C-alpha cells in the first residue's frame, strides 16, 4: 500500500467533505435568506395592516371627539335655554326672562332682582 496515495485520498475526501459542508452551508444560507425574505414580507404586510388600523382608529377618535364636543355644546345650549322663558310684554313684543326655578339658592336673590328685567326683546 502506498501511504502517500492513501494520504492524498484522505486529504481529497477531507477537502470534498469541507466543500460539501460549505455547499450545505450555502444551501442553508440560501434557505435562510428565502425564509428571512418571506418573514420580512409578512412583517411588512402586518405593518401595513397596523397602519390601516391606526388610520381608522385615529379617524374614529376624531369623529368621537367631534361628536362629544357637539353633544357638550348642545347640552350647554339646552341648559342655557332652560334658564329663560319667552314672555309677551305687549302685543307682538316678546322678551326672555330668567326662570327662577332653574337658579340655585346662593344666587336666588340676584335672580329675583333681575326677574322682571328683559334679557332681549323681539318684535
List pLDDT tens digits, range 15-73. Answer: 766 776 766 666 777 777 778 778 878 888 888 888 888 888 899 999 999 999 999 99
Q: What is the pLDDT of residues 78-117, one digit of tens each?
A: 888 888 888 888 888 888 887 776 555 555 445 444 545 5
User: In this structure, what C-alpha cell is assigned to residue 88?
Assistant: 309677551
Q: Which of residues 74 and 79 earns the better pLDDT score?
A: 74
pLDDT of residue 104: 55
Round to whole Å and give the CA distance between 34 and 115.
Answer: 84
Reference 85, options 111, 59, 62; nearest CA is 111
Whether residue 99 contacts residue 85, with contact meaning beta carbons closer than 8 Å, is answered with: yes
- Going by pLDDT thresholds of 50, 70 and 90, the confidence category of residue 5 is low
pLDDT of residue 76: 93
Round to whole Å and give the CA distance between 96 and 101.
Answer: 15
pLDDT of residue 63: 97
Question: DSSP strand E in 33-101: where?
Answer: 84-90, 93-98
**What's the pTM value of the predicted model, to 2 decimals?**
0.47
Q: Which of residues 9 and 104 earns the better pLDDT score?
A: 9
Whether the predicted pLDDT of 123 surpasses 70: no
pLDDT of residue 69: 97
Amino acid at each position: 500500500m502506498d501511504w502517500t496515495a492513501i494520504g492524498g485520498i484522505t486529504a481529497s475526501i477531507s477537502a470534498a467533505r469541507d466543500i460539501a459542508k460549505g455547499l450545505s452551508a450555502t444551501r442553508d444560507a440560501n434557505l435562510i435568506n428565502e425564509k428571512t425574505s418571506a418573514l420580512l414580507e409578512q412583517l411588512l404586510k402586518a405593518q401595513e395592516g397596523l397602519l390601516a388600523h391606526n388610520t381608522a382608529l385615529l379617524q374614529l377618535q376624531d369623529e368621537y371627539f367631534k361628536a362629544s364636543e357637539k353633544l357638550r355644546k348642545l347640552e350647554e345650549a339646552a341648559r342655557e335655554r332652560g334658564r329663560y322663558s319667552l314672555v309677551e310684554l305687549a302685543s307682538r313684543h316678546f322678551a326672555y326672562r330668567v326662570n327662577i326655578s332653574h337658579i340655585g339658592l346662593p344666587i336666588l336673590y340676584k335672580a329675583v332682582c333681575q326677574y322682571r328685567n328683559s334679557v332681549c326683546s323681539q318684535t
